[in-house]
Structure 1
Amino acid sequence: MGTVILDKVKTIKTLNNIAENGLNVFKKDQEKYLIDNDSENPDAIVLRSFNMHGMELDANLKAIARAGAGVNNIPVDKCTEEGIVVFNTPGANANAVKEMVLTTLMASSRNLFAGVEWTKTLEGEGNQIPKLVEAGKKQFVGNEIKGKTLGVIGLGAIGALVANDALDLDMDVIGFDPFISVDTAWNLSRNVQRAMTIEQLFAESDYITVHVPLTDDTKGMFNQGTFSIMKPGVQIFNFSRGELVNENDMEAGLETGKVGRYVTDFPNETVLKMKNVIPIPHLGASTQESEENCAIMAARQVKEFLETGNIKNSVNFPNASLPYTGKLRVAAFHQNVPNMVGQITQALSNYNLNIADMVNRSRGGYAYTMVDIDNNVEEDVLPALAEKMNQIEGIITARII
């Protein structure tokens, strides 16, 4: 049996420094929310990179919001089992990452990083520096990106922005994403060529940037086999996950020149020893604007869920939404098994409650049901209704909003 929670003033706990504009989403409703970072019993947690693995998850915890895209620092499976919604903020940092991709694309093509480092070695040469610069600059002659082909793997929020802006820089752009959403398709320029296979993209691109999540299918997707398809001297940009690249194969590809340059936001001991690597200290989304956007988006999603039960951008439960009209609402997480909705509606009918609207969405072995009640319900009925919901086999958690 699950736990049914009657709503009250909600406590928000943060596990990292969260941008003030994000916290203000809660602070402007002080009668409804209390930010208490010492709370051992919060309604919701907002965090960035804090490692939650090993933390106890209190029975009162309803939601966790990651102000960013990755949720590897959150025990998602455990949260799912306990009916805790985990949110992330896809797209909130997209512009920051896009700018970093395009910055490093141009800078690496012009050998800017190596040139700057070489120039610093001239310190102490005094009046000879201008002559030394003129004599030495030829070793850093680079290439223009205009007219070159950029392959974009993954056309989500970041990939679509990169593709569109690369077109504005007079590049030819080819994209591959078998799971592209309708919303992204609308935002993507019609001039982005569609690769029918990822092998086609590998074969035609001078530069390749990857924007996909790490899964069993994408792990090590850049390897000896895929390098063999690519043009000699291809430049690869990885601002998604380090594990997308087989590092042993990458090292070999860089040594032979098959891969001309590897730009990665995920340096480690192995990567730092490679030839022609540009290691970025995980700066892809590190802008003040990005941190604020992620914090605001995370806070708004938590606030919407706590106040209405509506879910958007959850990584472990289905998105579900009902227009909130102020009617009594029952929101229940439960196992995705037959007759769960029937049992929930039967429990309501036992109290002569009419259903005004409802939604049921499933994701794997779990589901989420929201029911709006048409009647005016006396407050003293709510504890009994909560108990009735609690008796339903398969309910994980439920709230009366």
Structure 2
Amino acid sequence: MVDADQTIVIVGAGLAGAKAAETLRSEGFTGRVILIGDEREHPYERPPLSKGFLIGSAERDSVFVQQTAWYAEHDIELHLGQPVVHLDPAAKTVRLGDGTVLPYDKLLLATGAEPRRLDIPGTELAGVHHLRRLSHAERLKHVLTSLGRENGHIVIAGAGWIGLEVAAAARGYGAEVTIVEPEPTPLYSVLGPELGGVFADLHREHGVRFHFGARLAEISGQDGMVLAARTDDGEEHPAHDVLAAIGAAPRTALAEAAGLTLAERSAGGGIAVDASLRTSDPDIYAAGDVANIEHPLSGGRLRVEHWANALNSGPAAARAMLGRDVSYDRVPYFFSDQYDLGMEFSGHAAPGSYDQVVCRGDVGKREFIAFWLSEGRVLAGMNVNVWDVTDPIQQLIRSGRTLDPDRLSDPTVPLASFLE
């Protein structure tokens, strides 16, 4: 039975919000739990939108966090298709778009991020896409299928993880793909110049064309449909569709209007929270893509937009709201599958933060582990088509030990030996 004396409201019905609601119940909270989402869909996970669901290896139902009936069975009150339009920390209420006002004792903001938009002529044309929501993925899946049948072209702005995964999916359907990227390699801000070329080579082998050192400047069309995409260096690429994959911005408008402290853009932006995921208001917490965490492991602020962070920070925030002692120090983690390449990345190595990249294994065969080091300490590690090494990689990051790069690069030296 629900105890109506205590109410926790969760704004954002994505993975972080749904996992927070689940944790509140599993931890024994008997008060009201209200989960609010601006989409009509029940909470779902986003990685399949550019992976399994998009390529057709996973069914639509597989993306959902829980079965529909689970929420009622666990007394989770759902308000779907309803944005929160106002947060009043003084009154401790939120107002929904339909005028409903809901009180809270504790509030979790899990509002996520939204795709950055192309600010160029032609974005109003049919055939210009973003990929953030299930509805976007459904539309894009249909588009890629059609392009494959008709030998059509898609131009992708951005060679980050989403851009590359969609490129792989598009080639799987038989569509022609051109990726426009201002940096000299894919994934430049994540992998640096040292390893971005691995992904460029992979995609070129599968027929993807790259145009580096340029940005899209205009999308031209006829009768409301896309015909071509022109870059700022004057080149024109034929296109039937264009995908904007130029990153995402944390959805902070609600928090900002309520007077909560935001993190500096130079530190990743988002809502500033401490290690317990508490905001500048002691009764308001934030988790998932929107939260910029005072991270105990990194020694600074960190905002992470990946699946594992939503999966783990939502429950951590729930426990903190229940008064548990929480220090969120998870090593950032994400994964990607492109063609026959599978990879996992642990840690964080921003440009300028490392002084050496060490690889063990065969980079040419795309079977290796890469380590980003700073004065011999491991900041991040990426395993490519090498498995069951995530735990030792993360332990090396946590240890802060100074390692011998030559031994680290030697595949005959077990990773576990560096932890003894």
Q: TM-score, normalised by structure 1?
A: 0.30
Larger Rg: 1
Q: TM-score, normalised by structure 2?
A: 0.29
Task: Write 1 or 2 for the structure with the bigger share of strand.
Answer: 2
Task: Write 1 or 2 for the structure with the bigger share of helix.
Answer: 1
